[in-house]
């Protein structure tokens, strides 16, 4: 316990030793020692050294506080791809009805294609939609189905929970299909713009 308490104290002392105020104070203190060696400080040299150290520490510029680091688009995409791998591992451990399993297979293929897409920095809103599907919509739909399925043994005759799951997966698939279509349209427009540019350049 004593060692763990000593470490933060040691780190604080090290940060102070490397700080601008301490370095400027040390420079002032060295100037005071120089005056002492030349005899200019006289018998009051300890006060001179301490005073110059304090003056140097006071006039030193404040420490620069590092700006917070926020993950860029590439880092966010890498994290999302890792989350998608974990989602797949989770889904592989759940036994689903054939219809829901088929719908989930289609959704998995679409998600795989979207996650592989690397131009999300130009469309943060669409990236948010994709991330929400991976981290919230799909796992929540499956987890809710698992919990509801457990209760069917006590409440026979109610609507089978797999129907709700199929409906939810269909809605998620439709939303992501719209997203994929928008991406395709953007790529088509980019391709057409390049064609027009090459034609115009040739005319000129």
User: SS3 letters for 64-124?
Assistant: CCCCCCCCCHHHHHHHHHHHHHHHHHHHHCCCCCHHHHHHHHHHHHHHHHHHHCCCHHHCH
**DSSP H or E segment with residue 22:** helix 20-38
Alpha-carbon distance 148 to 158, whole Å?
Answer: 11
Task: Output the pLDDT for position 14.
Answer: 57
pLDDT along the chain (204 residues), means of 10: 52 60 62 62 60 62 66 83 95 90 93 88 87 95 90 72 92 95 87 87 80
Task: Output the pLDDT for position 91.
Answer: 93
Show Cβ contacts of residue 127 under 8 Å, excluding neighbours closer than 6 positions: 73, 76, 77, 80, 120
Task: Output the pLDDT for position 123.
Answer: 83
Alpha-carbon distance 191 to 168, whole Å?
Answer: 35
Task: Output the pLDDT for position 165.
Answer: 94
Residue 152 — φ and ψ, nearest 5°? Answer: -65, -25
Q: What is the largest CA-CA distance in the chain?
A: 102
**Chain centroid, CA 185 distance in Å:** 28
User: How many CB atoms are closer than 10 A to CB 9?
Assistant: 9
Residues for the chain: how many in total? 204
Entry pTM: 0.64
Alpha-carbon distance 172 to 132, whole Å?
Answer: 10
User: How many CB atoms are closer than 10 A to CB 28?
Assistant: 23
- Please say whether the beta carbons of 115 and 81 come within 8 A: yes
Task: Output the pLDDT for position 132.
Answer: 95
Hey, is 160 helix, strand or coil? Answer: coil
């Amino acid at each position: 316990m004593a060692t763990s308490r000593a470490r933060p104290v040691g780190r604080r002392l090290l940060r102070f030793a490397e700080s601008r105020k301490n370095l400027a104070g040390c420079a002032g203190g060295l100037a005071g020692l120089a005056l002492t060696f030349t005899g200019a400080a006289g018998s009051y040299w300890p006060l001179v050294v301490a005073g110059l150290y304090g003056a140097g520490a006071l006039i030193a510029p404040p420490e620069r506080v590092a700006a917070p680091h926020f993950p860029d688009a590439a880092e966010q995409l890498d994290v999302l791809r890792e989350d998608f791998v974990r989602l797949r591992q989770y889904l592989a451990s759940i036994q689903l009805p054939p219809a829901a399993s088929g719908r989930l297979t289609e959704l998995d293929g679409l998600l795989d294609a979207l996650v592989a897409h690397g131009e999300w920095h130009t469309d943060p809103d669409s990236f948010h939609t994709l991330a929400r599907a991976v981290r919230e919509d799909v796992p929540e739909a499956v987890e809710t189905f698992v919990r509801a399925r457990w209760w069917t043994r006590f409440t026979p005759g109610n609507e089978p929970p797999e129907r709700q799951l199929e409906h939810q997966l269909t809605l998620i698939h439709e939303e992501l299909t719209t997203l994929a279509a928008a991406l395709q349209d953007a790529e088509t427009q980019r391709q057409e713009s390049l064609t027009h540019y090459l034609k115009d350049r040739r005319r000129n």
